[in-house]
Each structure stands twice: as structure tokens, then as C-alpha cells.
Amino acid sequence: MHEYRVTQTQDSTLQVRNRLPRHLRNMLSLADFERAARKHLPRPILGYVEGGAEDNVSLHAGAVAYRAWSFVPRVLVDVSQRSQQVELFGATYASPFGIAPMGISALIAYEGDLALARAAEEARIPMIVSSTGLIRLEEVRSTWFQAYLPGDDEQIDKLVERVQNAGYRTLVLTVDTAVLPNRENNVRVGFSTPLRPTLRLAWDGMVRPHWTLGTLLRTLIKRGMPHFENTSAVRGVPIISRDAVRQFNYRDRLSWRHVDLMRRSWKGTLVLKGILSAQDARIAAERGIDGVIVSNHGGRQLDGALAPLQALPEIVRAKGAMKVMIDGGIRRGTDVLKALALGADFAFIGRPFIYAAAIGGQAGVAHAIRLLSDEISQDMALLGATSLSELGPDRLAPVK
């Protein structure tokens, strides 16, 4: 529980750093993990993680949107007993953020999905398991699962049944992937689906032996050839299979009718991820959806799409009884607090945590979570807030 009864001192922060593995001690912010990952990951793998679609306009806009707001702090407030706990869908989380779903995490970090899930569980925050993960959803200890689904009733029913039988309580349907986007950045760095062994990948592996030995070879020896494990009711194809791209077929048929089908068959919490329109938020609320994640897919789908933070206020006004979460561009505790002040109930962060897993495994993710939660606590004190419920639009001013 991240509840501070006294202000954390620089001495205690130093003590925590000294207990870390040596290679994590200089990781002082989420951005530090990205810089370290650039040296650690082969260019095709790094390009897949960091790249967006086409000209990366939406990718960069997601982070820039947070700079359009300034804080209006209050002073002379006793903030010695502040808490960043938050309740969401009947669960209490230690911090107002979780780990977003990320595909092929186990190729970026050894057993990446497990490292993310274990660190999240230890920190008492949620982690959303990806349907394009390379580790079976039944093996990953989490309660949130993200699905890409085709517009096919039978396949929807079968996957929903599998996820339900595995004990997941929250199902997140990603709705902004009707077709594969134009990720020409991936082509330029040599990444493709299916993943093809190339001279470029081989050379990059040779000059980055820590990833080659610690992730790739270790995975092949201990777990065998990675497969897409969670795209359907049965095991998917190997990541190097020519059939890998077929898992994306027929998503252009997905419609609100299929959402209604899922709402009837899924017994738990149902969330739609990829909402940027207030009109779509109203439709979701009318159909009994429990929550939406405001997201432009990290800039990886429609380039030029609205930044999530820009879309947030109108969606909050249209949400009805739903919870509204946000994903995309968050790199600091101040970003999380700005999103909450504009009406978000919760935030999800993706890339920084997989970078942390690549650099330090579960310990790296745990350190990244701790850095962000510590920032939030410190920022709350400087804002003059003792609880997240005190945050509102009055704490922000637009940058002119």
C-alpha cells in the first residue's frame, strides 16, 4: 500500500537504490529504461516496440498532449497522510496506474509476460495480459485479459469461455484494429510478422549478446519456439509461421452486435479499449459496458488520430455509469495526475514497463513501478492533495 504518513526523504530513497542490482541503480525515471533498452535490444525488436504507424504523428502527440496543461498547486496543506490508493471494479489498487497489454513481450524480455504480471501483483496494481502474448494466459497470474477478436460469433464464444475458465475477471476488447496498420517503421528496421530470421537480426544479435543469450536462446532452450498462445481457444501458430498474419483476419467485420454478444456471454467486467469518440462512449454506456480505455493504441494504428488526453474530457462527460481509463503517452507521475484531474479513473502504461523487463526482468519492472508511484506521492504533496479524489479540472490551467 503506497500510503505515506511522512514525507519520503532523500536518505530513504538512496537506501532503496543501494539495495537494487547494480545495473538498475542508475534508472531514475521511466525514460532511463528506454535509453538502456536502446543499447540492449536488437534494432528489429526495438523498432517493433518503440515505433508507431506511418509518420509517428499520433505516437508523439500522445506525450505532447500532457505538456498543454500546467498545475495549479495549493499550499499550506497538511499532506503528511496522503494516499494514492484507488478502487476500480470492486478491487483496491495501491496506485492509480496499471500495465497495458503488450504483444510478444516474451521475445523482448525473457518470460516477459510473467515478469510483468509478477511485479504487478507484488505492487498491487493490475496488468492486462495480451492476446498476442507468447505465454499461455492460463500460466500468467492476472485478472485482466485483452482480446483481439474477429467478427465471428463462434470464435468469440470459444475465446470468452477459455478466458472465463482461466479465472479472469476483466475482459478488455480492443476495438481500434479493424485492419493491420501501415507500420512501415517496422519494415525499415527489419521486423515483420511472421518474424523471419535475417542477416540483420543475426548481426544485431551478435553485437547484443545479453539479449541473444539471456532472452532468445534461453527461451528456445527452456520453452521452445514461441507461439501466439492466446489469440483463440486453442494454441496459435509459431511466431515464425507464414500463417501468423492470419490471426488478424476478419477483424473488419467486428461490430457493436458482437459487443452485445460478448456482454451477454461474459460474466465479469467488460471494457472496450481504443475509444476516442464521445459518441462511441455513449453507445458503450447504453449497451452496459463497464468501462472504456481512451487510447489511440500508442500511435500504432491510425496515424493522425486524436491524442487520448485530448479526447478524455468529452468522453468523461459522456461516460454515464462507466469507468473511464486512459492509455498512451504517460511517462511521469505528473502525467498520471493530469489525466486524473481531467476525469480519468485510472491510467495504463505500456512501453516503459516492457523496457524495464528487458533490462531487469521482474526486478526491473518492480523498480519502474516504484519510481512512478513515488513520483505520484511526491507530486501529490507538492500539489497540496492528500487523496486522488481531490484532483479536478481546478488543479489545471491550459498552457497559452
Euclidean distance between the first and final Cα of the chain, in Å? 38
Check 227, 258, 297, 367 and give the catalytic one.
297
Q: Which three cell numbers stand for residue 44?
A: 528489429
Helix residue spans in the chain (DSSP H): 10-18, 30-40, 43-50, 57-64, 105-108, 112-123, 153-165, 184-189, 199-207, 209-211, 218-223, 256-265, 278-286, 308-318, 333-341, 351-383
- Strands 3-4 and 82-83 come out as antiparallel
Using CB atoms within 10 A of its CB, is residue 199 exposed (0-12), middle (13-18) or buried (19+)?
A: exposed
For residue 63, give Cα distances in angstroms to 11, 12, 307, 330, 348. Answer: 31, 30, 8, 6, 13
State the residue for C-alpha cell 534494432.
43
Catalytic status, residue 297: yes
Task: Measure CA 17 to chain center.
Answer: 25
- Strands 396-398 and 69-71 come out as antiparallel
Q: Note whether 266 and 149 are within 8 A (CB).
A: no
Q: Is 62 helix (H, G, I), strand (E, B) or coil?
A: helix
Give catalytic residue positions: 297
